[in-house]
Amino acid sequence: MIVSMRKNEYVAQSNGYKIIAVDDEEGIVDSLSIFLKRSGYEFTGVTDPMEAIEKVRNEHFDLMVLDFIMEPIHGDQVVEEIRKFDKELYILLLTGHKDLAPPLDTIRRLDIQGYCEKSDKFDQLLLLIESGIKSIKQMNEIKRINQELSNTYEKLEKAYLESIQTLRYTVEAKDPYTRGHSDRVSEYSVLIGEKLGLSEEDIKTLRVGGLFHDIGKIGIPDSILLKDAKLTDDEYSEIKNHPSIGAHILCNAEVFKDIIPIVKHHHERYDGRGYPGMLKGEDIPYLARIAAVADSFDAMTSKRTYRNSLPIDIVREEIEKNLGTQFDPEIGKVFLDIIDNEYDKIEEIQEKYPA
Identify which has the larger pLDDT, 196 or 112: 196
**Where are the domains positioned within the chain?**
18-143, 175-352
Structure confidence at residue 7 as a pLDDT band (50, 70, 90): very low
Is 18-143 a domain of CATH 1.10.1740.10? no
Query: For residue 9, is pLDDT > 70?
Result: no
For 319-354, write each residue's pLDDT tens digit: 999 999 999 999 999 999 999 999 999 999 999 988
**What pLDDT is recorded for position 10?**
53
For 226-269, write each residue's pLDDT tens digit: 777 788 888 888 889 999 999 998 887 777 899 999 999 999 99
Percent of the chain residues topping a pLDDT of 90: 53
Mean pLDDT value across residues 191-198 = 97
Structure confidence at residue 2 as a pLDDT band (50, 70, 90): very low
Residue range 175-352 forms a domain whose CATH class is mainly alpha
For 137-175, write each residue's pLDDT tens digit: 888 888 888 888 778 878 877 877 787 777 777 777 777
**What pLDDT is recorded for position 125?**
87
Q: Please report which residue ranges of the chain form alpha helices under DSSP H.
A: 26-38, 49-58, 75-82, 104-109, 123-174, 181-195, 200-212, 222-225, 233-239, 242-250, 260-265, 286-301, 312-321, 329-341, 343-352
Q: Is 326 helix (H, G, I), strand (E, B) or coil?
A: coil
* Distance in angstroms between the alpha carbons of the first and the last residue of the chain: 82
- Out of 7, 121, 134, 217, which one is annotated catalytic? 217
For 280-305, write each residue's pLDDT tens digit: 999 999 999 999 999 999 999 987 76
**What pLDDT is recorded for position 4?**
41
Is 217 one of the annotated active-site residues of the chain?
yes
Closest by CA to 189, choosing from 284, 302, 286, is 286
For the chain, give the mean pLDDT: 87
**What pLDDT is recorded for position 176?**
66
**One fold for 18-143 and 175-352:** no
Structure confidence at residue 6 as a pLDDT band (50, 70, 90): very low
Q: How many CB atoms lie within 10 A of CB 34?
A: 19
CA torsion sign, 276 to 282 to 285 to 286? Answer: positive
**What pLDDT is recorded for position 1?**
36
Structure confidence at residue 3 as a pLDDT band (50, 70, 90): very low
